[in-house]
Copies of this chain bind each other. A is one copy, B any other.
Amino acid sequence: MPIKKRLEILSLGDEFLLGLRDNAHLSYIGRELARKGLSIARDQELRDNVEEIRHHFLETWGRADIVITVGGLGPTADDLTRVAISDALGLRLIPNASVEASIRMCLAKVGRVPNQAQLSQSLVPEGAEILPNPLGTAPGIWLEKDGRILVMLPGAANEMRPMFIEQVLPRLEARDIALINDAFLQLRTCGITESEASLLLAPVFSPLKSRINVGFGCSATGLVDVRIGAGDDGVGWEDIEKVGNTCRELLGSNFLGYGDVTLAEIIIRHLRAQEMTVAVAESCTGGLLSSAFTDIPGASKVFRGGVVCYNNDIKMDLLDVPESILLQHGAVSAEAAAAMATGAQERLDSDFAISVTGYAGPEGGGVSSPVGTIYLGFASPQGVWSRKVFLDGTRMNIRERSVVMALDWIRRKLKQFGADAEIAHTVSQAD
């Protein structure tokens, strides 16, 4: 078991306090630390002000074993972290020749010579270790003092993230603070709420009370994650895997996969194995369903394409939806959803197709089909289905959750289709 340490984060930058940007550093570092058995005791977003940084840093340094700062290491006037903290710790800033050389090299690539402000990034607190930054001019800093650890990281995400993974985590592992292996097993689910999952899995977890550590987390779009780790009385990874397997069985078709898997990833993996393809026809989701697939690198082997049919004549022209269906049942109907799916399957020449049509609001809908009424369609080589769902929330929320509902439905259908195909295969072999 690693040594328990109190770890705090200081996030520097006015942009977080002025509402200009979400602090995505915190969730990134939190996730990576949790994976290694460490938790953040507190985070503070502070203003770019030497006095404030100094004061809150000292208060934090007095309570924590490890302090990680993010941001404020750059060359501009509001980059004050290095100065404020060195001063708080009573450490001199010393020019570092190797950092200066790498700043010069980094700027030479774009044909420039560093100015005084850029060269100030080569000042390093005495006694500190440099964390080289191959992607920018500001290096990270690792400092051990009075039994405590201070880590200073740059605020550009593309520089901070690899530095954290490749240079900070290994140092924490080497000091037996972070685990070398993953601290928990994560089961991702879809189609079950946090409290339903907790109730369903209670019979597995209750008898193991202090031996395992269970956490539930729910994303904005409704995927629920179950994290199982070793408790204070510690069980081994093999036992955790066994518990995970039991949970997986209990979760049944609501189990998506281990880790951070996405619905589109699972569908693409499944179709790729079967050498089959999928296409999309969407109205109210307006491109979001297609982009869920195209988010995944390598999607083109499986994803044929999509039609965003925001107007009835496009449903007819590009997807061959019969005008009679639109006139009789309307564009938001089970019949239209089925015709859109069949049309996409035929016109985009795919094995499977999914469609979405509905009212995402704030306008549209009516008494019988209010805003939030969504129809999904699914076409497969075996036939076509449609399904009505009702979602509440903002326009964006309805659109995003419609995508999740559509993807989860096709996932379940494909699983069933795969099982059917396997049965057919077994039967024909028995013949």
Contacts and interface: CB of A to CB of B under 8 A. Distances in A.
Nearest to A11: B43
Contacts of A30: 16-20
Chain B CB within 10 A, most for which of A29, A288, A291, A395: A291
Interface string A335-369: 00000000000011100000000000111000000
Interface string A18-34: 11111110111111111
A286 interface: yes
A156 to B, nearest CB: 11
Nearest to A34: B18
Contact of A294 (B41, B287, B307): B287
Nearest to A393: B158
Interface stretch (A82-90, A123-131, A140-148, A298-306): A298-306
Q: How many copies does the complex hold?
A: 2
A309 B393 CA distance: 31
B305 A309 contact: yes
Contacts of A20: 27, 30-31, 217, 219, 225
Contacts of A196: none
Closest 4 CB pairs of A and B: A286-B294, A19-B31, A287-B290, A19-B30
Interface in A39-86: 39-47, 52, 56, 59
Interface SS of chain A: mixed
Contacts of A299: 286, 310
A314 interface: yes
A420 interface: no
Given A41-B47, A286-B291, A27 B19 contact: yes
A86 to B, nearest CB: 21
Given A16-B26, A44-B45, A158-B393, 11 more contacts: A15-B217, A17-B41, A18-B31, A19-B27, A19-B29, A20-B217, A22-B26, A41-B47, A286-B291, A304-B314, A306-B308
A187 to B, nearest CB: 14
B42 A43 contact: no
Interface of A: 15-24, 26-34, 39-47, 52, 56, 59, 158, 215, 217, 219-220, 225, 280, 284-295, 297-300, 303-311, 313-314, 317-318, 347-349, 361-363, 393-396, 399
Nearest to A304: B311
A27 B31 contact: no
A297 B220 CA distance: 21
B47 A45 contact: no
B288 A291 contact: yes
Contacts of A307: 305-308, 318
Interface centre among A28, A30, A39, A299 (most CB of B within 10 A): A30
Nearest to A33: B19
Contacts of A363: 297-298
Contacts of A290: 286-287, 290, 308
15 contacts: A16-B26, A17-B42, A18-B34, A19-B27, A20-B217, A39-B47, A41-B52, A42-B47, A158-B393, A286-B291, A287-B287, A287-B293, A287-B294, A290-B308, A317-B347
A244 to B, nearest CB: 19
Nearest to A396: B295
A309 B294 CA distance: 11
Contacts of A309: 305
Given A290-B286, A314-B304, A42 B56 contact: yes
B21 A219 contact: yes
Given A303-B310, A310-B303, A314-B348, A18 B289 contact: no
